[in-house]
Structure formats: C-alpha cells, structure tokens
Chains A and B, each alone.
Chain A
Amino acid sequence: MWKWWNRLSIFLIIAVAAGAIYAVWPNEPDRYLPSFIPWPSGQGLPGKILGIGLPCHTAHTSASNPAADCKGMTLGLDLQGGSRVVLQAVVPANSKLTPADITDGIKANKQIIESRINPLGVSESQVQVSGSDRLIVEAPGITAQQLQDLTRPAVLMFCEGLQQGGQSGAGAALAVVPDGSKVYYEPGTCQPNVDAKGAVALKDAAGNIAKNPDGTIQRVTPTYTTAYNTENVVWTPAKGDLNGAPTIMTGQFLQRNVSVQFDQLGQPQLIFNMTKDGQKVFGSLTRRIGGQTNGLPLATFLDGEPIRGADGRVIAPRVQSEITSTGTTTGLTLADAQRLKTFLNNGAFPIQMKVIEQQTVDATLGDQAVLHSVQAGLIAMLLIMAFMILYYRLPGLLASMALVIYTAVVLAIFKIGLPGSGPVTLTLAGIAAFVLSVGMAVDANILIFERSKEELRNGRSLIPAVNAGFDRAWTSIRDSNVSTLITTAILYWMGNAFASTLIKGFALTLAIGVVISLFSAITVTRSFLRLALATPLARRLWLWTDDKPDYDERTAGALGPAEGADA
C-alpha cells in the first residue's frame, strides 16, 4: 500500500490544503475564533499563478502589503449591504417602438446607468439586461438616495411661466396659483393639465392628479399677474424655434461637456454649452422671453420636478437677453451641481423605465449576518467532527481532517474563483448551501465507513474491508450526488429565469460543494486511510470499529461478504 504514488498524493493533498488555508485565512481571525489565542492575521499573496489571480486579505495598505485593492471574500448584497433594483421599460400604448428599438434603448440605458455609477466609486456593481425589457442594477454599499440617482430618467426640460390663454406667448403677466396649492405636471415634464376654461389640475400627496370625491379632477383657476414668484407661478415647457418648428428646450440640446465652476464669490455654478440645434432653439427662446420687460424667469425641471437651490426655492433666473452658446445656473449647492453635471453629461434614458422591484440592505445587517453565519458554520463543523470521531473513531478523525481540507479548498475557490471566471459571490443562501454541503460531504464518508464496518463484521480483514467499503459505496455516492447536481443545475437555470442572484448563488455554491466533496470524501479520506493502514495503528482494531467481529486471519480477504445468510 505504501507506494510512491501514495506518498505523492499525500504530499499533493497537504500542499493544496496549506495553500487553500493560507489563501482563505481571514485578516481579522479574532472576529470569528476565540480571542484568547493570538491567531496570526492573514496577509495573503496578491499576484497571479498560472493565470489565476490570487487574493489578498486586507483592504488596508501597509508597508508589508502595498496592494490597496486587496479584497476578501466577494460578498453579495445581503452580506455587504447595498441596493438592488429591477427596472422595466415603459412603452406607451400608442408608441411606434419596435421590439428592436426597445432592446437598443435598454442597452443605451444600461450604459447610462453604468456611467452614473462610476463617479460613485462603487466596486463590483453590476448592471445586467434581463429578458427583453428589463434591467437589473446591483450596487453594493450604496444608499437608497444614490440608487434613486442611478435609476432616474434624467429628462431635463427648460420651463417658463404660463401666460394668458394656456400658452406661452407675448405679455408679461404670468399664471399664479394661491400659495400652497400644488400644480400637477405630466410625468417627467413641466406640462400642466389645463382645461378649456384655463383652470389647472392639482396633484395629490402621492404625486398623482388630484380627484374630487365625485371623481372629477380637482382644479384651480390661476390669476394672471406680474407680481409672481418662483414658488406660485404655473410652469409650462419653454419652446424655441428649430428650423420653423416650435421645439421644447430639453437636455438633448446640451453638449455633453457640462462643467461645474466657481464664480468670483466662490459659489458653484453649472456651465453648459448648446449643441448646434440647441443654439437655434435656446437662442430664439431667450430672445423671446428676454425681450419682455425685465425679462421672464426660466426654470429647469429634472424628471418633472423643478430644480431647487441651496435655499430650497426653485431656481429660475430672469432671462434678460438672448443666450445662444453658453448658459450658467447659479444658486445650487456644490453637491447638487455635481450630481446635475453627471446626469446632463450622460444623457437621459432613450426609453423610460420604472422601478418594479427594489431592495436595500443596511451594511451593519450584512456584517452581522457574516459573523453569525461563520460562527454557525464553525459550530456545525465542530458538532459534525465530534460525532464522526466518537462514532467512527480513527476513520472519523481522518474524515474530519478531510472535512477541514474540504472547507478550506471550497472557500479558496469562492475567494479566487474558478479558472476563467471571477470569484464566487457569497450570499446568505450561499453560506447555507455551503454548510449543507459540509453535511453532505460527511454523508459520503458515513456511507463508506458503514460499509467497511459491515465488511469487517462479515469477516473480512481490515484492509480489504476498507477497500471494499470504498468500492461498494461508490455507486451510491455517485448516484446520489448526480441527482443533487441535477437539482442544482435546474435551480441555476431557474435563478437565471428569475434573474435571482440569490437562487443562482445557492445553486452554484451547492454544486461546487458537491463536486469538491466527492474529491475530498473519496480521494483525501482514502489517502489518509491508506497512510494509517500502513502504520501500527492498523493492528489496533478498536480504533476502527466498535464491533467485536470474529476476526480470523486465515479467512481474511478470502471470504466474500456473507449476505443473505440470515434471510
């Protein structure tokens, strides 16, 4: 038994185990392990071996570990905290969009969202297309507010005060509603809902058009006055002239080089340049309203809400002269100016989208979940190992060693990733799958050991009994694990169909666990057993079984199992 290839396999197992343990050793072991032992802190080894990127353990840079982008386990949103949204394209009933248009629009939207994520400096965020008309945005470590910014349509519209007759024509008097009444605008625009008598619709608390108890639309008739302010004036889309056609001035007429600068007083201001068409539209627009006495106010609406300044009031400077190439907006906070810049430079979604599902997890909750799951995993492993050692004695001890190696190897695979793919994202469900796979890894050993004990009972000697245990248990182990792999494959497919990273993560983790457990329970345990069988331990039968078989050297190995004798 004690042959050169056996030495080699033991050597390889020890090498793989040592490498795996080194790779997965946490940089804060005191968090998970009893702290009275001064555990060494993991350092990791940044770099590549055979094309596989190796992990390192800490995000902190130091003299000994200069790689700043070192990462630990790749954690999913539920463990790391962060947000996930599913967006669906909104196609108006009478639109002429073809399915191909929608697909292209979704792809463009994806790029826009990605370009909005980049300035946030969020790593490992993901934007993926799901089905024909959906986008899934997953961004770890971002807040609900930032998530809203990622997914907003970003339609910028310039708006002027509504004038007599529901139009924006000549005359300096603007429509004004009583203080406190909230005017309803069509979604994403500053288009009020004006009826034939000139009364404008109001909006309710949820932002929808307000209804009277009898179902009619609540309206208020504005008064027309020159004594307006930016808060009570009724806005309407500002139109300019583009080659003879009245055209609403929107963000699409701005060049994508909006910048934030500071004026002489140190106040931030947003500088934007018009495109060629934009110069015509904005030029004719500002010529018209700037020609009024004292000029008229011009507001900007982003996604149907007026842009407000640091003081909380709508920003609507009076335009007093024609502006063609460059405009400025002042009065914004620096943070808002920066955000607006991001929106304007990346453009609006060509296809409108709505949020159909969203999820936000607080980072502290994820942190707790990691701690608890690791502790649960450790306790589960200790219980299983204690059971195996008490029940199966020496083979149980060897199986426990194989289990530790199994755990280290699987975690190392999660951390480093399989060749050709990135690290496996660990989720709460994934951890559950992993702990379950530990239980299943032990099952293979239980099958083998039970079988070996049976063979011993049937009168075989130790070495043939152990070998028979492995050989005979193999078909059971193979068939049962194949059926589990079939289930994981279907789960993975289902996870894809649901676009559920949770289910996919669970399936992938379980599949990796099952495959590695086959290797550890068969190869690793068998190598250890061969090693033990070659030592004097093999002569102490009490280490191998609690039975007292009629151990007979003469018949040992020669006798087949006496099945059916008692039937």
Chain B
Amino acid sequence: MLNLVAKRNWFYLLSFLVLLPGAISLMIPPRLKPGIEFTSGTTFSFRYAQPTTSTQVRSELAKLGHPEARVQGAGNNEFLVQTKEIGGSATIPPVGPSLPSERDAIQSALSKLHGGFLDTQGKPTAQFIDFSSVSAAVSQQIGRDAAIAVLLASLGITLYITYSFSNVPNSMRYGVSAIVALLHDVLLVVGVFSILGKVLNIQVDTFFITGLLTVVGFSVHDSIVVFDRVRENVSRGLIRNFPDAVNHSLLQTMGRSFNTTLTLLFAILALLLLGGGSIRDFLLVLLVGVSTGAYSSIFIASMFLVTWQQGDIPRAWRRLTGRAARPRPSETAPAE
C-alpha cells in the first residue's frame, strides 16, 4: 500500500519550495499592488471605433495633466485606464450649457483623438464603457475589515470542527490542522498575487478579498472530507496505528478529492475563458486557491495532524537542542 504519511516531511519541503518565491515577493515592497479601492483613484474603460494605440491614449492623457495614467489595451480598441482621482460628478456643472467636469474634459479630449465626436455616419468615435472612482476616505477600512473577516471565518470554522469532531480524542487538533492548511493556501494565493503584481501589474481589490474568503471556505471543505474519514476509521478502532489510519483515509478519499477538484476547475475555467471581464482576477484567485486547497487538504492538513499526534515537533526540537531523541511511539514505516 502506498504510504504517503511516511513521506510527510518531503511534502512539507515541497510546499516550502512552492511557497518560498511568493513569500520572498511578499517581503519586498510593494507587497501587493493595491487597487483603487485601497488607495483612491479612478479607473475607466474607453472604447474607440477606430484603430488606436495605447501610446496615443497615454500621450493624450499626459497632455491633460495625467502623466501617471496607466493605459492597458483590452483588445478591440478598448482601453483600461487608471489614474489619480478624477473629478467626475464632484465638480458639479450648473443647469444649462456648462463648464465641463474633469471627466467630461478627458472624455472630450480622448474622443477628439480621431477628429470629431462623431464619425461620418454620426456614430460616436469613442465612449466610456465604465467609470469608477474612489477617494481615500473609503479605502482605509477595507483592509482592516478583510483581516477581521478572515480571522472570524477561521475562528468560526475551528470551533465548528472542534465541536463536530468531539467524539474523537484531541478534536481541537483537527480544527487547528485544517487552519494550518488554510493558512498555507492563503499564503500561496497572496504570494502568487504578489508576484503577479510585480510582473503583470495585477492589483488586489474587493474581488480579491472575496475570492480569498471563498478559498478559505473551499480549503476547509476539502480538509473536512479527509478528516471525516479519519474520524470514521479511528472511531471504529480497526486500525490502531494513527498514521496508518490517516494514510488509509487519504487513499480512500483521493478519488473524490481529485474528481471534485476537476469539476470545480471545469466551472472556473469555463467562466475564465468566456465570462472573464471584471471578475477575471477573482477567478484567478479561485483557480489557484481551489488547486492548492485540494493539495493542502491531503498533503498539509492530514500530514500536520499526524506530525502533531506523533509528537514530531518536540522531537525535532530536542534533536536540535542536542538532547537524545526518543524513538517514535508507533510508526511502522520510518520517516526520513
């Protein structure tokens, strides 16, 4: 029988290597590229009827006093622009023909890139598709509330697992192990987005936080399925050796874990390839999170449970501090 549990330290090493680049990237500022919800500023999409390059749009915006504008082509002569906060309806025009707001000024300047507002058929040469603007006042609370939400979710889930597993010994360890796997997944997703922020300038926004919280839900979902099997195998008492019971449970639930992850990935990929749009980054979070959630439920949550039950950590500590290591109590296959 395949003994995965005996190789647990190798899986820790693998996770460490996978997490390392993201963790390093998180240590180098800017840790994550904040979206306008977290800083303040304006994003808008703009569509031209005629072929236009992002260089043209960028130089036009620089002329209007926005040299900081980031212009990103989105295909079909659509451009995603991000600038400092632009006065939209903040500058209020009076009744009647009026002085334009900054937004109007930008719209008319960008529209005139190809001559007039209207082409020969009378269609607008350019138009705003969407426009959103946030001032600093809103943005400060979001980060704090998100952190509270993750903590509360973790706490709620740990309590629930501890309660639900109260018929097996050390039920709290199941909850904590699930949270360790959860933190593994959160760290991976945040690390990947830190790297993506540096390389592709992908920003984190409210969608990112929503996605992250969904990943939290999925991660625990997967861990619980495995733990539930461990609970069943342990409480039946047919396998007395705990690592073997966990290993057996892992192999029993492997098919399910694989198939469920596959169906979820179908759903996410279909949305990503077809829907996309403004929720693209959100789906990217889910894609990374669902994959690592399935992995961590098997190779982190369950392994950590065994590590804890076997007293590996105190033993490693004693070894490091030079005291004599006691033999492991009940493991059949020796780990490295």
CA gap between A299 and B282 in the complex, in Å: 52
Residue of A nearest to B144 (CB): A497
Contact B102 A372 (CB under 8 A): no
Task: Collect the chain A residues with CB atoms within 8 Å of residue B209's CB.
Answer: 494, 503
Which A residues are CB-close (under 8 A) to B160? 479, 482-483, 486
Contact mask for chain A residues 486-510; partner B; CB cutoff 8 A; 1 contact, 0 none: 1111110110011010110010001
| B210 engages A503 (CB within 8 Å) | yes
Q: CB of B192 within 8 A of chain A?
A: no
Over the window 297-318 of chain A, the binary record of Cβ atoms lying under 8 Å from chain B Cβ atoms (1 yes, 0 no) is 0000111111111101001000
Among B49-57, B268-276, B321-329, the stretch in contact with A: B268-276
Contact B94 A387 (CB under 8 A): no
- A356 touches B (CB below 8 Å): yes
How distant is the Cα of A365 from the Cα of B45 in the complex, in angstroms? 10
Determine the residue in chain A with the shortest Cβ distance to B96: A308
Q: Given the complex, which residues of A lie within 8 Å of B45, measured CB to CB?
A: 365
Please report which residues of chain B, range 219-268, place their CB below 8 angstroms from some CB of chain A when the two chains form the complex: 220-222, 224-225, 228-229, 231-233, 236, 238-239, 241, 244-245, 248, 252-253, 255-256, 259-260, 262-264, 266-268
Specify which chain A residues have a CB less than 8 angstroms from the CB of B213 in the assembled complex. Answer: 487, 490-491, 494
Contact B131 A144 (CB under 8 A): yes
Q: Known contacts A151-B89, A443-B260, A563-B236; decide if A476 and B94 are in contact (CB<8 Å).
A: no
Given contacts A144-B103, A450-B256, A487-B214, contact A358 B273 (CB under 8 A): no
Contact partners of A429 in chain B: CB under 8 A: 207, 210, 279, 282
Please, which residues of chain B bring their CB within 8 A of the CB of A384? Answer: 263, 266-267
* A377 CB contacts on chain B under 8 angstroms: 270-271
Q: Mark B84-109, 1 if CB is under 8 A from A, else 0.
A: 00011111111111110111000000
The distance in angstroms between the C-alpha atoms of A354 and B270, with both chains bound, is 41
Judge whether A302 and B94 touch: CB under 8 Å.
yes
A354: chain B residues within 8 A (beta carbon): 90
Judged by a CB distance under 8 angstroms, whether B14 is at the interface is: no
- Quick check: is B186 within 8 A (CB to CB) of the other chain? no
B225 — which chain A residues lie within 8 A by C-beta? 447, 476, 480
A183 neighbours in B (Cβ, 8 Å)? none
Contact for A442 among B98, B164, B260, B282, CB less than 8 A: B260
Q: Is residue B176 contacting chain A, with contact meaning CB distance below 8 A? A: no
Q: With A305-B94, A357-B133, A435-B267 as known contacts, state yes or no: A483 contacts B157, CB within 8 Å.
A: yes
CA distance A458 to B91 in the complex (A): 74
Choice from B239, B253, B271 contacting A380 with Cβ under 8 Å? B271
A242 at the interface (CB under 8 A from B): no
When chains A and B are docked, how far (Å) is the Cα of A85 from the Cα of B135? 11
Task: Determine the chain B residues whose CB is within 8 A of the CB of A506 once the complex forms.
Answer: 210, 214
CB atoms of A333 and B132 under 8 A apart: no
Question: Complex Cα distance A333/B95, Å?
Answer: 10
Q: Which residues of B are found within 8 Å of A207, using beta-carbon distances? A: 87, 91, 99
User: Which partner residue on chain A sits nearest B259 by CB separation?
Assistant: A446
For residue A502, give the distance in angstroms from its CB to the closest CB of chain B: 7
Within 8 A of A (CB), among B140-186: 141-142, 145-146, 149, 152-153, 156-157, 160-161, 164
Given A78-B278, A86-B138, A563-B236, A491–B128 Cβ distance below 8 Å? no
By the criterion CB–CB under 8 Å, are A497 and B145 in contact?
A: yes
Measured CA separation A161–B35 after assembly (Å)? 47
B contact residues around A206 at 8 Å (CB): 87, 91, 102
Interface residues of A in 430-451 (CB under 8 A from B): 431-433, 435-436, 438-440, 442-443, 446-447, 450
What chain A residues lie within 8 Å of B91 (beta carbons)? 206-207
Measured between beta carbons, the chain B residues less than 8 angstroms from A356 are 134-135, 137-138
Q: Which residues of the partner chain B approach A123 to less than 8 Å between Cβ atoms?
A: none
Please state if A487 and B217 are interface contacts (CB–CB under 8 Å). Answer: yes
- Considering the chains assembled together, what is the distance between the CA atoms of A310 and B97 in angstroms? 7
Q: A206 to B86, alpha carbons, bound, how many Å?
A: 10
Tell me if A551 counts as interface (CB < 8 A to partner B): no
Instruction: Determine the chain A residues whose CB is within 8 A of the CB of B220 once the complex forms.
Output: 480, 483-484, 487
- How far is the CB of A346 from the nearest CB of chain B, in Å? 14
**Chain B residues in 8 Å Cβ range of A253:** none
- Of the residues A310, A358, A428, A446, contact of B132 by C-beta under 8 Å: A358
Closest to B228 in A: A476
The winner among A152, A356, A503 for most chain B CB atoms within 10 A is A356
A472 to B232, CA, bound (A): 9
Q: Give the residues in chain A near B152, CB-CB below 8 Å.
A: 490
Instruction: Find out whether the CB atom of B277 lies under 8 angstroms from the CB atom of A479.
Output: no
Given A487-B213, A487-B217: A391 touches B266 (CB 8 Å cut-off): no
Q: A303 CA to B239 CA in the complex, in Å? A: 79
Q: Is A373 an interface residue when CB atoms closer than 8 A count as contact?
A: yes
Shortest A150–chain B CB gap in Å is 9
- The answer to whether B210 touches A484, judged by C-beta atoms less than 8 angstroms apart, is no
Given contacts A86-B138, A144-B131, A206-B87, whether A339 and B210 have CB atoms under 8 Å apart is no
Minimal beta-carbon separation of B185 from chain A (angstroms): 13
Give A491 to B239 CA distance when docked, in angstroms: 40
Q: A376-B275, A567-B1 are in contact. List 20 more A-B contacts (CB 8 A).
A: A78-B278, A148-B89, A148-B93, A207-B99, A339-B95, A360-B130, A365-B129, A365-B277, A373-B274, A435-B270, A439-B264, A446-B260, A450-B253, A450-B259, A483-B217, A483-B220, A484-B220, A487-B217, A563-B238, A564-B248
Interchain Cβ contacts under 8 Å between A and B, 13 examples: A206-B87, A207-B91, A302-B94, A305-B93, A356-B137, A358-B133, A442-B260, A450-B253, A480-B225, A487-B157, A490-B149, A564-B248, A567-B244
